[in-house]
Chains A and B, each alone.
Chain A
Amino acid sequence: MRNRILALILILALAALPTITQELGEASLLALATRILIYGMAAASLNFILGYGGMVSFGHAAFFGIGAYVVGILASHHASGEPLFGIVPGTDQMLLTLPLAVLVAGLFAAAIGALSLRTGGVQFIMITLAFAQMLFFLFVSLKAYGGEDGIIIRRTNALPGLNMRDKATFYYVVLAITVLFFYGLRRLTQSSFGTVISGIRQNERRMAAVGIPAYRYKLYAFVLSGMGAGLAGALMANFLRFASPDMMHWTKSGELMIMVILGGVGTLFGPFLGAAAFLILETFLAAWSEHWPFALGLILLVVVLGTRGGLAALVQRITALVRRGVK
């Protein structure tokens, strides 16, 4: 019950954000909040396999980038009027592009996951990285879609009845999708499927012994996670009105991982906290000093040495202290 009230308060606060930032005269905070929600979804997707499933994917930016490119490629064909591969017409309708981005990202995740999941541990980290790097090089050499320079998307995808050029409207769309995403993720982790995935992380052999085909379950989880990252990527392409290969570079995969670890591995809310902390730090430190990477590194180091279980654990500890204090 308490959690539900808290969630409601949080959603209301987030819904009031455009008005608040407007009043404060800090409209760019809205853009920051949009980015946090989008990256939060990508990080939470990664966390589903990393935290719950124990599969450390170091190539998750690939699915993020694919989601973005689906939006970008469809938009460029819509603008030029030439169908993709001569048959698929381009589109700028978000109701089409988002599901397509999720689908395509899921297909890639299925292929990559099917191969990668034959390994485990460090080898799994590196093989997912390898596939992501191959995709990165592929998109870098795609001249038709701008190569290294990326594709500029002339207009944010349209939703019937909404003015998507308005930044607050776009924020609300992202917020609505985030809330749905979060709800779905929560259901998923609490479902029997989620329990199996956690069980496989804790002891794969035992799960196999009770007759659960671990490989297949892991693959399902990997595909779902890739689809989540693809959704986030598609939204990011809409937000930036731009897609480029650096969205799938290994450093971006690393950043997603950092967000998850910083926020709290295997927690529902951690990745959003981690994304928020990372992006806020980056934004404000960069405005503060040209040597901001040093400060960012120092803060991350202190956090990792000083807290166990990331920010989510820290928040939990503080609320526990407060509660004890109240009593």
Chain B
Amino acid sequence: MRKKLILAAAGIAALMSGTAMAQDPLKIGMITTLSGPAGYLGQDIRDGMLLAIEMEGGKLGGVPVELVVEDDGLKPGNGRQIAEKFMGDAGMKLLTGIVFSNVAGATVPDIVNNDAIYISPNAGPSNLAGAECHPNYFVVSWQNDALHEAAGAAAKKLGFKKAFVLAPNYQAGKDAINGFKRTFGGEIVGEIYTQLDQTDFASEMAQIRAADPEVVFQFHPGGLGIAFLKQYAQAGLTGQIPMVLSEPSTDAVVLNAVGEGAVGIFATAHWNRDFENDANLEFVNAWDKKFGRPITYYASQGYDTAKLIASALAKTGGVDDLDKFREAVRAADFKSVRGDFKFGNNQHPVHDWYLLDIVAGPDGKPVAVTKDKLLEDYGDAYADQCKM
């Protein structure tokens, strides 16, 4: 058990040699979710960032940094409290880490109005992407809707005409289905909103079988998605009716937990382990050496966020001049593990989306293999509403 979360990643060598450091490390505040069922998301984002810092010897862009991590417990109020502490007491100017949109909703507006920069490694809710966009707010991952627009594009490209769609009955679920429809363009032969805490989907399986669609799209994050895929395979539907999924339903942890039942699914992603650019090769190697567990896209986003910060710090040397730093972040002058990356006018990413095949690996476990580029230089649907 790790005694302290405050990892003095920076300057350990300097301390050991006994020389006082000329410069205190730059503190970066990370508010993230580590407890509860979704804890692995925050853990991977954190470990991705720590890995990038460690690879540079405790520095980012030549500046010694210290990542201060705290668990928000998936409670918006706690996220806000931690942000107050980071900014008010420790005087931090650079925050990151939030996993979930509702924590972001309570926390991000306060951060950016307080003359601090927030760089999101995961959540990109629509209510912060459009009219409420802010010069101090950057998203490295994606805008939430884009995840599902990619899945719709995949279903269209694969030539499916009749789709059956399912998502939990809440805002993110409805956004997912709308996103899918926006790019799919075919006929929707069935649309089911499942219950928020539903774990048994047998009833839905029967309805899918009865509707006999050409393709199924479903969005169930985390454990619900694992349950859905297992039950889909057990119902014998996996071989019969193809399924197209958006990125959160097929992260490496989900695939590992579902096992061979996931083979044959069409997945979509903005990053995959097998990307062959140099930045990604370096990242994947370092991750495998350090951690024994599967590498998720959350980890890649944490790593990318750290690299983005590094690129800006390399230009400015610190965050004292916020305007300069903001400018440097906006330039996005770094090698993303996903390949091409730039910010749109609402400071959300403009990047490519890919179609992946889930195939059986050498040990029978499912592996995602990149197949095709789906969308090129793709931004999001809310950028127009952002007047910045």
Contacts and interface: CB of A to CB of B under 8 A. Distances in A.
Main secondary structure of the interface of A (DSSP, over half): helix
B314 interface: no
A140 B197 CA distance: 12
B105 A236 contact: no
A26 B169 CA distance: 41
Interface size classification for chain B: 35 or more
A4 interface: no
B85 interface: yes
Given A147-B171, A149-B101, A152-B127, A290 B34 contact: yes
A149 B125 contact: yes
A31 B5 contact: no
B81 interface: yes
Interface residues of A, number: 35
Nearest to B193: A141
A241 interface: yes
A141 B170 contact: yes
A289 B170 contact: no
Nearest to A32: B81
Contacts of A140: 169-171, 196
B70 A287 contact: yes
Contacts of B170: 140-141, 147-148
Interface in A127-152: 137, 140-141, 143, 146-152
B196 A289 contact: no
B105 A141 contact: no
B1 A289 contact: yes
A241 B70 contact: no
A293 interface: yes
B105 A149 contact: yes
A152 B76 contact: no
A38 B171 CA distance: 28
Nearest to B74: A246
Contact of A148 (B81, B85, B171): B171
A244 B76 contact: yes
A241 B110 contact: yes
A28 B125 CA distance: 26
A146 B81 contact: no
Given A150-B102, A289-B3, A290-B5, A240 B169 contact: no
Contacts of A154: 109
A31 B3 CA distance: 26
A292 interface: yes
Contacts of A151: 105
Contacts of A244: 76, 102, 105-106
Contact of A246 (B85, B102, B171): B102
B80 A28 contact: no
A7 to B, nearest CB: 27
- Which has the most chain A C-beta neighbours within 10 Å: B105, B170, B196? B105
Contacts of B222: none
B171 A31 contact: no
A208 B3 CA distance: 58
A98 to B, nearest CB: 19
A290 B71 contact: yes
B197 to A, nearest CB: 10
A290 B2 contact: yes
Contacts of B6: 287
Q: Which of A143, A242, A288: most chain B Cβ within 10 A?
A: A242
Contacts of B78: 282-283, 286
B102 A148 contact: yes
Nearest to A140: B170
Interface in B71-107: 71, 73, 75-78, 80-82, 84-85, 88-89, 101-102, 105-106
Contacts of A287: 5-6, 70, 85
A300 B214 CA distance: 54
Interface string B1-18: 111111000000000000
B49 to A, nearest CB: 14
Contacts of B24: none
B132 interface: yes
A291 B34 CA distance: 9
A181 to B, nearest CB: 20
Contacts of B34: 290
A246 B100 CA distance: 12
B375 interface: no
A286 B89 contact: no
Contacts of B106: 150, 152, 240-242, 244
A143 B109 CA distance: 20
A241 B102 contact: no
Contacts of B73: 282, 286, 293
A240 B80 contact: yes
A286 B72 CA distance: 8
Contacts of A282: 73, 78
B300 to A, nearest CB: 21
A201 interface: no
Contacts of A27: 84, 88-89
Interface string B199-239: 00000000000000000000000000000000000000000
B2 A286 contact: no
Contacts of B69: 290
Contacts of B128: 152
A35 interface: yes
A286 B174 contact: no
26 contacts: A28-B81, A28-B84, A28-B85, A31-B84, A31-B85, A32-B81, A148-B171, A148-B196, A149-B102, A149-B105, A149-B125, A150-B102, A150-B105, A151-B105, A240-B77, A244-B102, A246-B102, A282-B78, A283-B78, A283-B85, A287-B70, A289-B5, A290-B34, A290-B71, A291-B2, A292-B35
Task: Give the top 6 A-B pairs by smallest Cβ distance, nearest first.
Answer: A147-B171, A27-B88, A28-B85, A148-B170, A242-B106, A28-B84
Given A287-B5, A289-B4, 4 more contacts: A28-B81, A148-B170, A152-B132, A244-B76
Interface of B: 1-6, 34-35, 69-71, 73, 75-78, 80-82, 84-85, 88-89, 101-102, 105-106, 109-110, 125, 127-128, 132, 169-172, 174, 196
